[in-house]
């Protein structure tokens, strides 16, 4: 069971979007086409000499976050969200009541903020016919759904339903751009800007604190996604080009796997022990009593983090779902690694 869950979640973490599309089919009636042409001409005229596109004039993105051309409806009343990170952004933008269907993980996490008993779909094998029948204005997908190389929303797009894709974010800047995209796409730009501004204010505060940590007090950290077992002997961690590595750097810590070229390398126990981290942060929510499991692993007795019992659990959802709540995980990291420095930092997203 854990092995199956491991493969699913690692696919979520490592997925990159490869397929997407958006827009209605070109099947308008002659009168509708004439009106569309006239409206387009008026919008183009108003755009001025700068050459602003019609989509930009109307305030809608012309491409999704994966770079695909999209035609998002002017009015959004029905949304299907196919990833929990996206669903949480939409809820925080005040759009929970617009979500008419979602993926199963989203409903498990955010049912209290969604309409009761809305349809739920598997992220990897969604029921495309049912999605089409729901008549949503837009379907928001992520790289997870295309992680097997197959476009599982092909029929939805062919039916003329607007599908916008967001690739797996590798940086905090990517996450900010994702939030701004969702705000612009749904008519919630000001709300999205407020969220992004709040994120940046927290980052600035954290960076200011980190600048006061002496070099000889900076700690090395091993961030682990999964604890090694007999079935899965590797330690999955965050390497270079990940927002988790960036978060550790911002709080003033040194990621022991930060020079690994892979984004999500699988370390052997011997390699991890040799890195001798001073702190271990775990996002493993599937190992019972994970802290004590880590503290009692054979062969780890001389690792500084184990000797000092500096092993802490980070909330899996906040750290692994790329949205504004990674700030909550960053603050949690800071308080675990450097409690004397970050103890008084307030999480702006704790009540959202």
Tens-digit pLDDT profile for residues 192-220: 999 999 999 999 999 999 999 999 999 99
112 alpha-carbon distance from chain centroid: 20
pLDDT in tens, 114-134: 999 999 999 999 999 999 999
pLDDT in tens, 225-244: 999 888 888 999 999 999 99
Average pLDDT over residues 129-143: 96
What's the confidence (pLDDT) of residue 285? 86
Confidence of residue 352 (pLDDT cuts 50, 70, 90): confident
- Max distance between CA atoms of the chain, in angstroms, equals 78
- How far is it, in rounded angstroms, from Cα 123 to Cα 85? 13
What's the confidence (pLDDT) of residue 151? 87
The answer on pLDDT for 40 being more than 50 is no
What's the confidence (pLDDT) of residue 229? 87
pLDDT in tens, 166-179: 998 999 999 999 99
Supply 303's token pair.
């690792």
The CATH number of the structural domain formed by 198-342 is: 3.40.50.1980
Identify the weakest region by mean pLDDT among 87-91, 284-288, 337-341: 284-288
What's the confidence (pLDDT) of residue 45? 33
- Entry pTM: 0.83
What's the confidence (pLDDT) of residue 147? 61
Confidence of residue 29 (pLDDT cuts 50, 70, 90): very low
Q: Where are the alpha helices (DSSP H) in 48-171?
A: 54-57, 84-92, 104-110, 128-134, 154-158
Superfamily of domain 16-168: Nitrogenase molybdenum iron protein domain (3.40.50.1980)
Do the domains 198-342 and 16-168 match in fold? yes
What's the confidence (pLDDT) of residue 351? 77
Contact (Cβ atoms closer than 8 angstroms) between residue 191 and residue 94? yes
165 sits in which H/E element: strand 163-166
- Domain positions in the chain are 16-168, 198-342
What's the confidence (pLDDT) of residue 230? 84
What's the confidence (pLDDT) of residue 248? 98
What's the confidence (pLDDT) of residue 146? 65
The answer on pLDDT for 329 being more than 80 is yes
What's the confidence (pLDDT) of residue 160? 95
Q: In angstroms, what CA-CA distances link 249 with 171, 214, 259, 301, 320?
A: 12, 14, 12, 27, 17
Confidence of residue 145 (pLDDT cuts 50, 70, 90): low
What's the confidence (pLDDT) of residue 149? 66
Confidence of residue 286 (pLDDT cuts 50, 70, 90): confident
Contact (Cβ atoms closer than 8 angstroms) between residue 155 and residue 129? yes
pLDDT in tens, 64-105: 999 999 999 999 999 999 999 999 999 999 999 999 999 999
């Amino acid at each position: 069971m854990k092995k199956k869950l491991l493969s699913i979640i690692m696919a979520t973490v490592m997925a990159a979007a490869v397929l997407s599309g958006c827009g209605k089919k070109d099947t308008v009636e002659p009168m509708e086409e004439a009106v569309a042409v006239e409206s387009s001409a008026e919008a183009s005229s108003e755009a001025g000499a700068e050459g602003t596109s019609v989509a930009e004039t109307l305030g809608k993105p012309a491409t999704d976050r994966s770079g695909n051309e999209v035609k998002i409806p002017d009015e959004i009343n029905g949304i299907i969200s196919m990833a929990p990170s996206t669903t949480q952004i939409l809820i925080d933008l005040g759009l929970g009541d617009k979500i008419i269907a979602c993926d199963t993980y989203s409903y498990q996490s955010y049912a209290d903020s969604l309409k009761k008993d809305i349809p739920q779909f598997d992220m990897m094998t969604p029921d495309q016919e049912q999605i089409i029948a729901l008549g949503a204005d837009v379907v928001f997908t992520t790289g997870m759904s295309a992680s097997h190389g197959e476009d599982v929303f092909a029929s939805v797009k062919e039916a003329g339903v607007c599908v916008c894709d967001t690739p797996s974010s590798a940086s905090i800047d990517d996450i900010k751009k994702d939030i701004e995209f969702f705000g612009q796409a749904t008519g919630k730009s000001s709300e999205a800007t407020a969220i992004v501004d709040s994120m940046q204010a927290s980052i600035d505060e954290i960076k200011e604190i980190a600048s006061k940590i002496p070099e000889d007090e900076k700690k090395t950290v091993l961030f682990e996604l999964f604890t090694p077992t007999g079935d899965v002997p590797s330690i999955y961690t965050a390497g270079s080009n990940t927002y988790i590595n960036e978060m550790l750097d911002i709080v003033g810590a040194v990621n022991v796997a930060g020079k690994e070229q892979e984004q999500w390398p699988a370390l052997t126990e011997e390699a991890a022990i040799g890195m001798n981290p001073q702190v271990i942060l775990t996002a493993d929510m599937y190992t019972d009593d994970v802290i004590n499991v880590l503290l009692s692993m054979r062969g780890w007795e001389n690792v500084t983090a184990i000797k000092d019992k500096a092993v802490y659990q980070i909330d899996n959802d906040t750290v692994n779902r790329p949205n504004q709540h990674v700030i909550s995980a960053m603050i949690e990291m800071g308080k675990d690694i450097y409690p004397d420095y970050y103890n008084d930092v307030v999480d702006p997203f704790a009540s959202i």
